Structure 1
Amino acid sequence: MTEFIRHRLPDLVEVRPIKHGDHRGFFSEVYKRADFQDVGLIADWIQDNQSHSAAAGTVRGLHFQSPPMAQSKLVRVLRGAIYDVAVDIRKGSPTYGEWVAVELSAEKWNQLFVPVGFAHCFMTLEPCTEVLYKVSAPYSKELEGAIRWNDPALGIEWPDLGVEPTLSEKDKTAPLLEEFDSPFTYQG
């Protein structure tokens, strides 16, 4: 059965599906709605997104979408490895501005469930990394948002890969947390 691991911020859940292998290869149920619902992870997945990053040290995020197009995500790696980070950006949350990081990789076969109200980012740890993630709402350019990935106030402990990180211009110039007015409210 799939293993669900709650981290320091319990809304962020690492998912470890079981792999069944033999001389032919393997089989794995990487997502089974009933198992997720049994542990309280409920999302209506409407789309799968896939990204390829050529270089190790590629950073994508910290991204989110505002309501009514806010997204939960279920992130997994098809090839390579990432340092996956989620930051609580819910106003009034006792863990506002705190983060959790999980190394996801094709080898580990793990995933990260990121609920609505968290900004999400990853750094590739290997070249030619491919990431696949489910989302619970479609992309909306008008409602997309970002926070600076390396904001010192967040104190995210990014891996030092010995290379200059590769980022989009949008991610390089995203606002700092102190400049950010969150559209999310903690529901307790």
Structure 2
Amino acid sequence: MNATPLSIPDVILFEPKVFGDARGFFFESFNHARFDEAVGYRVNFVQDNHSKSSKGVLRGLHYQIQQAQGKLVRVVQGEVFDVAVDLRKSSPTFGRWVGERLSGDNKKQLWVPAGFAHGFVVLSETAEFLYKTTDYYAPAHERSLLWNDPALGIEWPFDGEPVLSDKDRNAKVLTAAEVYD
């Protein structure tokens, strides 16, 4: 499995070695020892999540101000544009974002460490999205950062308006959001 730090080096793109033939394919989707070596510290995942969404659905940008979650995300069917925004005030990349296309075809995974907001938009007709988290879901601590905050300048690859939850429609801009030290 190749592990490539992105322009925000704490966010890492994982690309598995896929073995395929006329019968189909096989790949190792997770190896704890190799993952920990790539990120440079021990990570303990406590929860796995699975969502399915339709084209144009945008989920995010979500984070938990307490019980911050690191997330290892991937798509098993369809395609999304996945985004991580650095909300660590002491970081040299505070307020910057990175994005990657993840799909069932390319089998890429993205490591989004704690201290980041995370979201994605569905580019295919539907997409099934899987992610592992390093802490449990804590609704009392969940926050949303506005997906189209001009200060972030995220270049979402779609036209028109996304399909949003009320929570995401009413999210805060970066200057009004709670962030990490």
Partner of residue 107, structure 1: 105
Q: Compute the displacement of 1:128 (Å).
A: 1.4
Deviations 1:87-140 (A, max 9, x none): 000012111100000111111110100000000010111111110000111111
Q: In 2, distance between residues paired with 1:41 and 1:22? A: 35
Q: Given the alignment, which residue of 169, 174, 177 partners 2:166?
A: 169
Segments of structure 1 that go 5 or more residues without pairing to the other structure are: none
Shift, 1:23, TM fit: 3.1
Deviation at 1:171, TM superposition (A): 0.1
Pairing partner for 2:140 from 135, 139, 142: 142
| Count of residue pairs the alignment pairs up | 180
**What is the RMSD of the two structures over their aligned residues, measured on CA atoms?**
1.1
Is the Cα contact below 8 Å between 2:4 and 2:13 reproduced in 1?
yes
**Residues of 1 paired with 2:100 and 2:108: CA distance?**
9
Q: Distance in 2 between matches of 1:66 and 1:15?
A: 26
Is 1:178 aligned to 2:175, yes or no? yes
Residue pairs, 1:1-188, within 5 angstroms: 2-39=1-38, 40=40, 42-54=42-54, 56-67=55-66, 69-160=67-158, 162-182=159-179, 184-185=180-181
Pair 1:13–1:41, CA change in 2 (3 A): farther
Report Cα offsets for 1:37-71 as digits up to 9, x if no partner. 222153211111011002x111000001122x110
Structure 2 unaligned regions, length at least 5: none
Mapped partners of 2:140, 2:11: distance in 1:
26
Distance in 1, Cα, partners of 2:71 & 2:178: 22
Alignment partners' CA distance in 2, 1:181 and 1:169? 19
Where do 4+ consecutive residues of structure 1 move more than 3 Å?
Answer: none
% identity of equivalent residues: 46
- Whole-angstrom distance in 1 between the partners of 2:42 and 2:152: 28
**In structure 2, what is the Cα distance between the partners aligned to 1:42 and 1:145?**
26
Asked if the contact 2:81/2:100 (under 8 Å) is kept, the reply is yes
User: Which is worse superposed, 81-90 or 33-42?
Assistant: 33-42
Distance in structure 2 (CA, Å) of the matches to 1:92 and 1:84:
24
Structure 2 counterpart of 1:97, which letter? G
Residue by residue over 1:130-184, the C-alpha shift from the partner in whole angstroms, topping out at 9 and shown as x without a partner, is 1000011111111111110110110001112x443100011001011011131x2
Cα distance in 2 for partners of 1:7, 1:124 equals 21
